Amino acid sequence: MNSPAFNPKVVFGLLLFGALAFAATLYLIGAGETSRGPNDGGSHAAAKGLTGYAALVDILEAEGHEVTISRNQAAFDDNALLILTPPTFADGEELTELIDRRRYAGPTILVLPKWYAIEIPDSVPVEKEDGWVMLGGVSPVPWFPTLGAEYQGEAKIVELDPADGADWQWGARRGSLPDREQVQTIGDVGMVPLVTTSDGAILAGYYEDDGYYPVLDEAAGLPPLDEEGRDTGRWNVMVVAEPDLFDNYGMADRARAALAHDLIDVAMEGEDLPVVFDLTLNGLGRTQNLLTLAFAPPFLAATLCLVLALIVVAWRAFRRFGPPVAEARAIAFGKGRLVANGAAFILRTRRLHLLTGPYIETTRQRIVAALRLRTADDDAALDRAIARRAPDSPGFGESAAALRGAHRPHDILRAARALKTLERKLTR
């Protein structure tokens, strides 16, 4: 038995590694994990730069909240607190449709953008980490006035005077902002203020509509409203005009971090809701595909069964019954094989009659040698010698003539067999 050219264990290991690498590649492509990731210096929950909100995510998780960073618009319909952090050039009509869609699904916090920021280039000689940014100035959000009539307002950038007192206030609470010279505020049209500047400009508030929001009204210092005539199934929409109350830049101060956490708690209206940060408005959306679904419940079970079946098939292929059978040569060695192949070729070409002459002469030579005659050309002398040796046998000339006169394969074989029988009688 020939030994295999390769060790079966090594081959199985290579195949297993290749299969796992291929499956991992498919999954990473389907999950969109082939790029650098969402920490791109933007103003969203996955960014760790000054204008991102990753620090707020960590604070909420540390406080026991169920926090999700969503890259799929299916989360817009979840019963959760949705925090929207759209970029400077968002679409006002799209935002309006999104907010309307959320009114009976869960509360919404809309954080307005303000900063222009770029990632720190490698040419700047400073210590930095991935996603860190440089602030390049501010601009009032341009799409806020383009929202639907129920939500639109005007944002503006103001400079706070230190002589006026604290930068922000909420009831008896006071605090400062990272940059008091560039503070974004909004007008009070249809807005109930929660957090304001010392001169009353709104930094954070919620829309005053037909909804019933006793928790928010209490936080705003308003007298309780009568529930009758109010839409109790409607959730509030809170607007944070000054992003430094929520972003990483603002979370450097303990008082601002506590303020952001309390605003989120108030927005939940006394419910223990999950918190969802949206990334789709920042261009980081991702839709599920077949590759992703194959590795997610409930399809994960079918994928695992398929993988186990492939493993079993591969194992049986390596552990087959008995040793491998060596393949025989197409043309064997030896004269006998050569003769057999030649005969088969003649049969296939239907030229059997061409063998009669050579066969007669070959048989003649063997009979002459057996009878020890001097010449093989005289058929009469050959027949006389055969008659003396085997009186009851036909003569050579008669048998040879019968073979020469045969044309059909059956007749040729019968005549050749008769001549062979005569030879056996004379040579034994």
Across the chain, mean pLDDT equals: 84
Residue 96 scores a pLDDT above 90? yes
Each residue's pLDDT tens digit, 235-286: 999 999 999 999 999 999 999 999 999 999 999 999 999 999 999 888 876 6
Residue 277 and residue 109: Cα distance in Å, rounded? 10
Distance, CA of 139 to CA of 366 (rounded, Å): 117
Using alpha carbons, select from 182, 184, 183, 207 the residue that is nearest to residue 194: 207
Asked if 67 and 274 count as a contact pair (C-beta separation under 8 A), the reply is yes
- Pick the residue with more confidence: 188 or 150? 150
Q: How many C-beta atoms surround the C-beta of residue 105 within 10 A?
A: 15
For residues 251 and 11, give the distance between their C-alpha atoms in angstroms, rounded to a whole number. Answer: 55
Query: Which CA distances in Å does 67 have to 58, 73, 205, 269, 278?
Result: 9, 16, 22, 17, 11
Residues linked to residue 154 through DSSP beta bridges, in sequence order = none
Q: Are 64 and 275 in contact (CB under 8 A)?
A: no
Q: Quick one: pLDDT at residue 127?
A: 79
Distance CA 421, CA 353 (A): 20
* Measured distance CA(277)–CA(54) in Å, rounded: 10
CA distances from residue 161 to 6, 129, 135, 166, 178 in whole angstroms, order as listed: 81, 34, 22, 9, 14
Q: Using CA atoms in the order 215, 107, 245, 193, what is the torsion angle rounded to 10 degrees? A: -50
The structure tokens listed for 189 are 């049209």
**HSE (side-chain half, CA atoms, 13 Å) at 22:** 7
Residue 2's pLDDT is: 54
Helix, strand, or coil (residue 382): helix
| DSSP 3-state of 50 | coil
Residue pair 37/279 in contact (Cβ under 8 Å)? The answer is no
Residues 180-229 pLDDT 10s: 999 999 986 789 999 999 988 999 999 998 899 999 999 999 988 888 88
What pLDDT does residue 188 have?
67
Separation between Cα atoms, residue 204 and residue 177, nearest integer Å:
13
CB 259 within 8 A of CB 168: yes
